[in-house]
């Protein structure tokens, strides 16, 4: 960790605030933080950024079926009559407290955004101007394989961030996007594992928040019908930074 390097410094600051620095790096960063007002200001800026991002996560009430699955997993009874308390409402188990899920939702969004932002910073991309980020994850195990960055009025960049293995013979990876409310997705072409892709935003049907991006497995020359025919390998939606 070299805090004199602007990119490493920005990445380390974000990881410090998020709590993902290793023990040695955390100790070194804490020591530098105590002696550097400039570094302290960067930490405060990251904290404010994360707070704002966590507020964007709309609270959701989990469905009743989810409680049943949790009860079954934990070996609990589905319906247990608890004795009334002398004052105030009965305290719900932690897994049925809406606030707990709201907090978890906010942290998950913040962590995803910070991870994407750090990946973009480490790629040396100019951080100025309107930007949208999306992390494309596997629907099966939530592995993040690609990061999409869009500069409004500029370019889209799709960058691989993990090993995706080998594409089966006779098949290809096709990149798609879909604006909220659109009738169907728009193809952005074929991509290759391990290779970045850059496109002008004029190729896109639009740019905005909650814009869907996905990569599907298609025939060797791509989908023959103008819409996905194979399974979704990676998918994600944009948020504005």
What whole-number distance in Å separates Cα of residue 13 and Cα of residue 47? 10
pLDDT tens track, the chain, 241 positions: 778 877 778 878 877 776 667 778 888 888 888 888 888 888 777 766 665 555 445 555 666 666 666 666 665 444 444 445 555 555 555 444 545 445 544 555 555 555 555 554 544 444 445 789 998 988 887 788 899 999 867 899 999 988 778 899 999 999 999 999 888 899 999 999 989 999 999 999 999 988 999 999 999 999 999 999 999 999 999 988 7
DSSP for residue 56: T
Measured distance CA(147)–CA(156) in Å, rounded: 10
- Domain edges within the chain: 64-103, 125-240
Residue length of the chain? 241
- Upper half-sphere CA count for residue 160 (Cβ side, 13 Å): 13
CATH architecture label of 125-240: Sandwich (2.60)
Which residues 6+ apart lie within 8 Å of 132 measured at CB?
A: 148, 149, 150, 152, 207, 208, 209, 211, 238, 239, 240, 241
Residue 50 CA to residue 61 CA, distance in Å, equals 23
Residue whose tokens read 């405060």: 44
């Amino acid at each position: 960790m070299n805090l004199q390097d602007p990119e490493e410094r920005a990445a380390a600051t974000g990881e410090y605030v998020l709590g993902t620095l290793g023990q040695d790096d955390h100790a070194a960063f804490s020591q530098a933080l105590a002696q550097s007002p400039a570094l302290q200001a960067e930490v405060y800026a990251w904290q404010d950024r994360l707070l704002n991002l966590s507020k964007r996560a709309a609270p959701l009430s989990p469905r009743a079926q989810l409680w049943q699955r949790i009860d079954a997993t934990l070996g609990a009874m589905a319906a247990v009559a608890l004795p009334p308390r002398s004052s105030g409402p009965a305290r719900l188990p932690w897994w049925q407290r809406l606030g707990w899920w709201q907090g978890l939702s906010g942290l998950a969004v913040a962590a995803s955004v910070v991870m994407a932002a750090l990946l973009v910073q480490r790629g040396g991309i100019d951080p100025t101007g309107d930007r949208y980020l999306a992390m494309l994850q596997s629907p099966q195990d939530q592995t993040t394989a690609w990061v999409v960055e869009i500069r409004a009025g500029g370019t889209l960049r799709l960058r691989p961030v993990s090993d995706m293995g080998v594409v089966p013979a006779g098949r290809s990876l096709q990149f798609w996007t879909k604006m909220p409310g659109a009738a169907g997705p728009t193809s952005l072409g074929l991509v290759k594992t391990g290779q970045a892709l850059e496109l002008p935003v004029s190729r896109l049907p639009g740019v905005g928040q909650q814009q869907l991006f996905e990569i599907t497995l298609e025939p060797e020359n791509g989908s023959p019908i103008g819409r996905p025919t194979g399974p979704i390998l990676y998918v994600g939606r944009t948020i504005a930074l």
